[in-house]
Structure 1
Amino acid sequence: MNKHSHPNEAADLSSDVPLVTPQDPIWRAVRDDALAAVDRDPATAPMFDALVLRHTSLEDAVIAVLCSRLADAFWADQALCKLLHQALQKDPDIFQHLAADMQAVYDRDPACYRYVEPLLYFKGFQALQTQRFSYALWKDGRKDMALYLQSRMSAVFQVDINPASQLGGGIFFDHATGIVIGETAVIDDNVSIMQNVTLGGTGKEGGDRHPKVQCGVLVGSGAKVLGNITLGQGSRVAASSVVLDSVPPLATVAGIPAKIVSMAKPKGPDCMPSLSMDQTVPHERHVDSGSGI
């Protein structure tokens, strides 16, 4: 299965993107990728067998990969796998968006050529799935275990996502190093976030204090989005910007502090920047020169 012929090829990415992608076609693609890799290089057989081929579902393979990465002196590989399987049995919604996340990586990352790659090699995908477990544990009242997974995620993947943050499906963390997402942050479906992005608070205030990121948003590398503000649907934050106020839908903002530099058309090619992954800031302004956010 090549880059231009994948299980979700019938979806119209210029309009509404399915929130959940069926897992079976992607799982078959992952297994096919693994078998082809072993055929090309038999030395990889032990890894692909342990992490892919001996499993019967995509969620089981993800658990195996996470345990191989997150295990430490306190939680050995097998003990951690048992814990994650128990969490999955108690809350099957953990992997409600798993296949959509993998499809997002495949569709949006030009460096991803096979479905097996995010599963085994891409820490943004792996960190995202770790957070889904920590969120399930948090909801179940097991806050220490949730925080433990968060700390391991931060140490292993250099991605720090609070267990209480709420994440939708079809999310793509590109490169992912340095991503920080706070406790009361909410990220909707089909959002793309580049490396070194912070969705944080503005100080030591309590309560609802972190950003809300709506569907279709693209947050560029190094951007800081601070406070209980909203990035409107289809908006785009330019690299290294500092966003302190809510951003309207379809707006591109840039600068320190960020200002609106352009507005996309509702049905235009830039209405879902998270899918196009176009981080360039338009040169032509479509708002008054003195406009802010």
Structure 2
Amino acid sequence: MAHTKTKLAQLDPVWARIAREAEAAIADEPLMGGLIHSSVLHHGGFEQALAYRISLKLASAEMPEQILREICDKALGADDSIGLAARADIVAVCDRDPACDRFLLPLLFFKGYQAIQAYRIAHWLWTEGRRDLARFFQMRSSEAFGVDIHPAARIGRGIMIDHAHSIVIGETAVVGDNVSMLHSVTLGGTGKEEEDRHPKIGDGVLIGAGAKVLGNIRIGRCSRIAAGSVVLQEVPPCKTVAGVPARIVGEAGCDQPSVSMDQLLGVRGSENADTE
């Protein structure tokens, strides 16, 4: 048994850690045993557990869990990048969210993480031409998690959506790798145009709570958007923007704002804003 666990840790360290944490969680709180066994320990690998959890959360009278489970299993089996991205997202959440001290928590409890994984299945369906089913996943994810992500949007790895309430990401939006955003963020359009109309978010960007980024504009890598801002113009890399409408108030302040999660506008940023 010890040899098997060692080999698993080498082949899939994320899943091995989740399994260890699941066993410890049951020891600490036996009343959680049924939920944790069904969600984690009953499964032979990460993809199977993820498919079970998503299908359970999205199931309804209109679409039972069994059918959703088959869809999720097929998507995860057909495209390895979905499972790899889901692992990267777990690492990102645990690294950036001070309320998360175990890999197990996003899989079981964090609706921001679960909503992103439901989107990844919907995106696979969309690219496979199964667009009505993809829209069903979008609808149920919005109903279950309060997160509305169009299945055609393109989202990278290492994504952390904290709290996740009222997130909206439009059809032609692009989100890079290692992006962090808080609740009530909108990546939206500015009108009824039907072409490329949504923001392009670079790698390493931090988007504060309630921020709105509107139109086909680029947000440069490792930039920082302050809470409550309305961004209508492109943002250069490594800058901090704030206000309604948003304007540059200083440098980003660090190499990876999305990792540091520092949302405070420093004195230097305020001084720069007064002189611009």
Counterpart-to-counterpart distance in 2, 1:288 and 1:148: 45
* CA RMSD after TM alignment: 1.4
Where 1:206 maps in the other structure, the secondary structure is: coil
One-letter amino acid matched to 1:272: Q
1:201 counterpart residue number: 189
1:18 counterpart residue number: none
* TM-score, normalised relative to structure 1: 0.88
Q: CA deviation at 1:206?
A: 1.2
Query: Which range moved further: 215-224 or 85-94?
Result: 85-94
For residues 99-118 of structure 1, the aligned pairs below 5 Å read 99-118=87-106
- Contact 2:96–2:260 (CA<8 Å) still a contact in 1? yes
1:233 counterpart residue number: 221
One-letter amino acid matched to 2:266: P
State which of 244, 248, 255 in structure 2 corresponds to 1:271. Answer: 255
State which of 194, 204, 208 in structure 2 corresponds to 1:216. Answer: 204
State which of 161, 177, 182 in structure 2 corresponds to 1:173. Answer: 161
Q: CA deviation at 1:23?
A: 7.3
Where 1:97 maps in the other structure, the secondary structure is: helix
2:269 equivalent to 1:281: no
Counterpart-to-counterpart distance in 1, 2:78 and 2:258: 32
Q: CA deviation at 1:231?
A: 0.8
For residues 21-170 of structure 1, the aligned pairs below 5 Å read 24-170=12-158
1:9 counterpart residue number: none
2:249 counterpart residue number: 261
Give the aligned length: 266
Counterpart-to-counterpart distance in 1, 2:40 and 2:218: 39
Where 2:213 maps in the other structure, the secondary structure is: strand
Q: CA deviation at 1:89?
A: 2.5
- Contact 1:263–1:287 (CA<8 Å) still a contact in 2? no
- Contact 2:248–2:273 (CA<8 Å) still a contact in 1? no
Counterpart-to-counterpart distance in 1, 2:178 and 2:168: 18
One-letter amino acid matched to 1:271: D
2:170 equivalent to 1:182: yes
- Contact 2:47–2:73 (CA<8 Å) still a contact in 1? no
Q: CA deviation at 1:288?
A: 6.7
Where 2:187 maps in the other structure, the secondary structure is: strand
Counterpart-to-counterpart distance in 1, 2:195 and 2:216: 10
Mark the runs of 5 or more structure 2 residues left unpaired by the alignment: 1-9
One-letter amino acid matched to 2:149: I
- Contact 2:250–2:273 (CA<8 Å) still a contact in 1? no
One-letter amino acid matched to 2:265: V
Change (3 A) 1:39 1:192: same
One-letter amino acid matched to 2:144: V
Change (3 A) 1:64 1:178: same
Counterpart-to-counterpart distance in 1, 2:228 and 2:268: 20
Counterpart-to-counterpart distance in 2, 1:176 and 1:216: 18
Where 2:12 maps in the other structure, the secondary structure is: helix
Deviations 1:180-207 (A, max 9, x none): 0000000010000110000000011111
Counterpart-to-counterpart distance in 1, 2:70 and 2:62: 14
